[in-house]
Copies of this chain bind each other. A is one copy, B any other.
């Protein structure tokens, strides 16, 4: 949450808004009218919170106070309350001199929160402190609740009225089509009569047509002789709605209140291939739909925060909206409160993705304050993991843990190489943060543990013959199966030397004999690994085929899963049920990340883009163009067959890497030849457009560095 100085704002106990909101949204999931709460613990906000602030005024100052909850005011530690008018909004004259005001608030419905405004420095800001129990005072948290009349009792959504693109009759039922996937309420204007209107929502026409078999539906009771407006009571994700109204019910117009968070696209991508451009736009809409209170997995079904899914959402967001508040809210909500009793979302890998997400958040934003605020909770989660290590320092799934990796069939018991890689990266993350925060002892501890684990992984699981990392070990026996997951994650994490990279490239990533990855979740990482070995052109073709395939089936947002080989009538089945598949799934927006990071080629090398790389690839296109957001403005890249233009942002130093058949020319800076055809240009001028004339290689053979992206 943003800290605000000297602007009055609602304040509360750190993390409580996120935790309260998380519980609230976690129980919205429905399946055909049944509730469906998650199987992990739902945490609650503190209900009784003290707020305090010491004032030091030359003159008495009048403070106006608004409180969410019942409350009492005390001054200077007295047990007797200071007198004030007991109303939700009250005022209090603070005497001159040094005085401590304490506001004790109880609220078991929303969260205890306080808003104060008055003379200089007397308003609520992050100089106030809060306590949920004796002895622990911490800085108050706030966000964007700056209006005294709008306390943090909900989420500040925006709304837009949307009208159907068509209303038609299909097999005797009324079908309303909004033209593309949307989310929110349905309103019947001027409705009259007595009875029920049933609404069957469909992300696909088939789902809406399926009536009671649709994942979600609502009933609206109408009872009025004169026309009245009726609105559905909960938000739904849909493109189509089938309506079934009782005889005699009429309405003037049906409209839709689209509920969303206004987000600005700071990132962009376009190129000479219109299909790719369309895929990018639909990806952006897909991600936008899922970026709300938190980054959700998908909008129709779970609307839950899944740590692994969110990890992808965060990365994609970094290349389009760069909206970090939602990332922070999501990370805080996922972590919840103490004590840690099970893995995040019950999944062992998902605990690790949380650490990795934090590491990537820091890399993209440089926001050490957020890391510091969450460091204690990171430590306690990591200690939970360390307690579960076996004698070799590896983590196996406990009986009730979900060891996920991917939906594909595989042995999940014992020491999975994949899990150890994620665990190792998590400990490296802790070591990095410990270093940044000056926690020498933990830095040393985690460096040692991570090094030891990395050695264990490679000595046990690296298979020189098969050219990759094997699956794992169960009861002391190695499982030699070669799946793509461990090797591609080792690649992502920069754990492979050049020889190992080459082996993985040939024997794993480009090996048709290895079990194919079918979920977009793991395909994300697979495509990234392919980019890392210079296969951008192949990845772009995959994007055209896989994401383009969904477009061909009418997708207006990208799906949870897509199998081109399935007949159309089975495209919406998943988890053994009709229409369970989410057709608006955050990870479906992967092309944004892949094009931004590996086609435009922009990525941070040091936290907050203090140092970054620009390594654009034409990938067989005539031209590419786009912007990548950073904490200090966008980095804009253009490339065609003779020119590269890079406009720098307002901070940091970049390095432009590219190949050219003959020596290139630049309008600024010194071009450095780094290999036969490889050149580098340091981008040190801020807000400046670098222009380079070059000549692409006929046969491009790109090999990206596999520099670790960590700290």
Identify the A interface with B (CB < 8 A). 23, 27, 31-42, 44, 46-48, 50, 70-72, 79-81, 86, 104, 106, 108, 132-136, 338-339, 341-342, 346, 398-402, 575-577
Contact = CB atoms under 8 A, between A and B. Distances in A.
A47 B23 contact: yes
| Interface majority SS (helix, strand, loop, mixed), chain A | loop
Contacts of A42: 46-48
Contacts of A36: 72, 104
Given A27-B48, A339-B338, A37 B104 contact: yes
A668 to B, nearest CB: 57
A134 B44 contact: no
B106 A400 contact: no
A135 B400 contact: yes
B44 A48 contact: no
A79 B576 CA distance: 9
Given A34-B72, A35-B104, A134-B346, A577 B80 contact: yes
Contacts of A70: 35
Nearest to A575: B79
Contacts of A34: 72, 81, 86
B106 A37 contact: yes
A171 to B, nearest CB: 25
Nearest to A78: B576
A351 to B, nearest CB: 13
A42 B48 CA distance: 7
B33 A41 contact: no
Pick the most buried of A33, A35, A341, A398: most chain B CB atoms within 10 A of its CB.
A35
Number of copies: 2
A70 B31 CA distance: 13
A46 B35 contact: no
Contacts of A48: 27, 37-38, 41-42
Given A27-B106, A44-B47, A133 B39 contact: yes
Contacts of A576: 79
A212 to B, nearest CB: 11
A139 to B, nearest CB: 17
Contacts of A50: 39
Contacts of A41: 46, 48, 132-133
A24 to B, nearest CB: 9
Pick the most buried of A27, A134, A341, A399: most chain B CB atoms within 10 A of its CB.
A134
A86 B341 contact: no
A133 B23 CA distance: 14
Nearest to A81: B34
Contact of A134 (B39, B135, B136, B338): B39
B400 A134 contact: yes
B72 A35 contact: yes
A609 to B, nearest CB: 38
A106 B29 CA distance: 12
A135 B23 contact: no
A242 B643 CA distance: 91
18 contacts: A27-B48, A27-B106, A32-B81, A34-B81, A35-B70, A37-B48, A37-B104, A42-B48, A44-B44, A44-B47, A44-B108, A79-B575, A133-B341, A133-B342, A134-B402, A136-B341, A338-B338, A338-B339
A307 B283 CA distance: 58
A142 B643 CA distance: 76
Contacts of A339: 338-339
A135 B338 contact: no
B31 A81 contact: yes
A63 to B, nearest CB: 18
B106 A399 contact: no
A39 B104 CA distance: 9
Pick the most buried of A40, A41, A46: most chain B CB atoms within 10 A of its CB.
A41
A138 B494 CA distance: 44
A267 to B, nearest CB: 37
Contacts of A32: 81
Nearest to A133: B41
Contacts of A33: 86
A522 B55 CA distance: 40
A16 to B, nearest CB: 12
B135 A401 contact: yes
A62 to B, nearest CB: 21
Given A34-B72, A39-B50, A46-B42, A346 B27 contact: no
A305 to B, nearest CB: 15
A283 to B, nearest CB: 29
A576 B79 CA distance: 9
A627 to B, nearest CB: 42
Given A27-B106, A80-B577, 6 more contacts: A31-B80, A35-B70, A40-B133, A44-B47, A79-B575, A136-B341
